[in-house]
Amino acid sequence: MFIKVVIPVVGQGGYTYLPPDQGEVQPGWPVLVPLGKSQRVGVVWQLLAENDCSPEVTLRPILKVLAEQAILDDKQIVFLTWMARYYMHPLGSAAAVALPSHLLRYEKGRQVRLGPDISVEKLSTEDGQVVEILQQSRRGLAFATLLRRLGGGKGWASRLERLGKRGILSIEERWHFRESRLAVDEPSLGEPSPPLVLNREQAEVLQVLVAALRVGRYGGFLLEGVTGAGKTEIYLQASRQAVDLGRQVLILIPEIALTPQMAARFHARFPGLVALFHSGMQDSQRYQHWLRVKEGSARVVIGARSALFAPFVDLGLVVVDEEHDGSYKQSEGGIPYHGRDMAVVLSRQWQAVLVLGSATPSLESLHNVSMGKYHPLHLRHRATGAPLPQVMLVDLRQAVQAGEMTPNSLISPTLHRCMTEELANRRQILLYLDRRGYAPALLCGRCGLSMGCPHCSVSLTYHQTPPRLMCHYCGHVSGVPDYCPRCGQMGFTHFGPGTERLEKKVEELFPEHRVARLDRDVVAAGGKETMQAILAAFERGEVDILVGTRMIAKGHHFPGLSLVGVILAETGLFHPDFRGSERTFQAITQVAGRAGREGSGRVVVQSYDPGNHAITAALSQDGEAFVARELPERREVGYPPYARLAMVRFLHQDQNVGNQLQTYLRQQWSPGMRGHVLGPAPAHLFRLRGWYRWQVLLRQPLDGNLHGLVQQVVETIAKQEVSGLKLLVDMDPYDFLS
């Protein structure tokens, strides 16, 4: 017998080993294996009847079975294998995202137990102290733990060694699981809160989902509902049906910022039955929740995309909230999977009901409805009966030409008037601007120099508190120069708006009111606790005006919020991305939907391009009009959802080496590949963290062999054996700008 073992590390694959000298192994068990000159923790992936390695490879045996229990079950292994093959990444990259790092923390140590020859009367006082401590632990203690309890010191270590030689102690070397001392959260208990009364639309949607749950087979549904339509209550009541049927539930949300509000509602409805999964959790918390899901005591799992890999026992309902959100796509490090798409695969595997929910569904999901892959469900009215907010458009071109404001102004007279009125009525305001910092760039007024990052081909963003220049890609920080390094001009121009600058302006205009800002800079400085504190304070009415980026634009329910201001509606249209219009429509629609959830609401949208179809459709909350305009354009140019894309990027720290490879590759494409292979060309962000980057965009019709084309391009690049080259494959790419 031969054994396939996967090392759960990004970039590692599967390796074939011989069985251990003693004992058996089963798929999913953690084992210690030799890898080169080191020893690594791996997971048994598959038992092989035949050796799949070439004859000249000398196989080595597994060194040790670390636990005779599976940390990945058969369904997870099948799921991760599918994911690795589809995204064309090593199995280790798939396993790495699935397992809490806590599970792989095995280390070599020595365990101390009482030996067979204990004669208390022969022991000194110090020796007796050792025996007394060990008598309190039936399984013994780690050598290091025992030393700590004894006060440490070399004297104690040598004493333990002597006691071992005398047979009073038994000291053995072994690999063991390294426990964390971090505190863990206990599940809350109590009586469940009662469900809310549904309106007619909600009741009809729930009836369809309950019927599907009772059938017990896969069924995919796209739940399209206006903002405030009560989708979360449907999720809650459908989850109750699934749990009552003895099945588990997975609720996916796009960002950590949405976790507290969603978790609070599910904790209240399912006390003691909820587990959380997201990257902001401590290792021990994640491990504890992982165990509760595996044991079946947790019936509802809530989290970001990594919650897909929880060890479910019997998954019956999968909900992907805000399914359109690009945050579901893994973009940095590891395997670039899409959480929504993998939720579809997971649902099919478990024969679970799948619900994709959104007020602004992705064009891919809408296309799947038209192809009969999903069943459409609609919520066309708000759950409370409140009307959608009144939307006002401010044409910034006319306002500037009329002298009502300057090009650098952030708040138009119309928005200022509306803010004054709402604050006078003690209502809350949200201002949305999808740019961080004080100014996106610092420009010299004489020569036009933009202060750039030394490691990336981007401008440094100016932050005022404290004064500094920062790269939002690699994290480089530098001081603010007094004069231009190129021409010597004193002083710089702050070019473009950012949330920090907007916050300062609001504080100047409304000094007597409480203002808060929420963006990645705030979260990076204060952690997730700061983010949750700001959101909670705004929800309680302790903040009058909240300024922020896209993280405040979706999924939140703020009862006292009556006015939303969109500072620059067209920000997302400036990027070279075919999804720019779709993202703009979704962002404006989503943030506008925060207003007037429990009363009247207003939205002021400021724009220099008010006639853009994405903006006009968002103003009228007319998704059908936007789709009717956007889909034919996608079909004409051959972009998703009418085609499939893949991105192959190659990186090198020497620009000349990359340029030579670029020239070579352009000569290698066969006539049949033209039109399907675009590039290579320099990436939009050509230099990132010191690496120069080129990309090849591959395109195939829906029934084409995209994976075969990617493999052909990858092999062509690999044949050149360029030293120091990094090669990255991204199936179904979402991010074309980094």
CB 645, CB 698: distance < 8 Å: yes
Residue 323 to residue 334: CA distance in whole angstroms: 22
Q: How far is CA 393 from the centre of its chain?
A: 33
483 versus 239: the higher-pLDDT residue is 239
CA neighbor of 64 nearest in space, from 111, 101, 103, 30: 30
Residue 585 to residue 626: CA distance in whole angstroms: 8
Order of all β-strands in the sheet with 602-607? 390-395, 602-607, 561-566, 428-432, 545-548, 515-518
Average pLDDT for residues 49-54, to the nearest whole number? 82
CB 14, CB 45: distance < 8 Å: yes
Q: Can you give the pLDDT at residue 184?
A: 45
Expressed in angstroms, the distance from the first to the final Cα of the chain is: 46
CB 353, CB 212: distance < 8 Å: yes
3-state secondary structure of 190: coil
Q: Can you give the pLDDT at residue 183?
A: 43
Burial class (CB within 10 angstroms; exposed 0-12, middle 13-18, buried 19+) of 57: exposed
Q: How far is CA 50 from the centre of its chain?
A: 39
Residue 436 to residue 463: CA distance in whole angstroms: 9
Residue 632 to residue 666: CA distance in whole angstroms: 31
Residue 339 to residue 347: CA distance in whole angstroms: 12
Any idea what DSSP says for residue 440? S
Predicted TM-score (pTM) of this structure: 0.85
Q: How many CA atoms lie within 13 A of 395 on its CB side?
A: 8
CB 581, CB 611: distance < 8 Å: no
Instruction: Give the tens place of pLDDT for each residue, 564-587.
Output: 999 988 887 777 788 888 999 998
420 versus 131: the higher-pLDDT residue is 420
Q: How many CA atoms lie within 13 A of 493 on its CB side?
A: 11
Instruction: Give the tens place of pLDDT for each residue, 159-214.
Output: 888 888 878 888 876 665 554 444 445 455 567 889 899 999 999 999 999 999 99
Question: Which range, of 186-200, 233-247, 708-722, averages the lowest pLDDT?
Answer: 186-200
Residues 544-572, buried b or exposed e (16+ Cβ, 10 A)?
A: bbbbbbbbbbbbbebebbbbbbbbbbbbb
Q: Can you give the pLDDT at residue 180?
A: 45
- Residue 623 dihedral angles phi and psi, to the nearest 5°: -65, -35
Instruction: Give the tens place of pLDDT for each residue, 518-569.
Output: 888 787 777 777 888 888 898 888 999 999 888 877 777 788 889 999 998 8
Question: What band does 414 get if pLDDT is binned at 50, 70 and 90?
Answer: very high
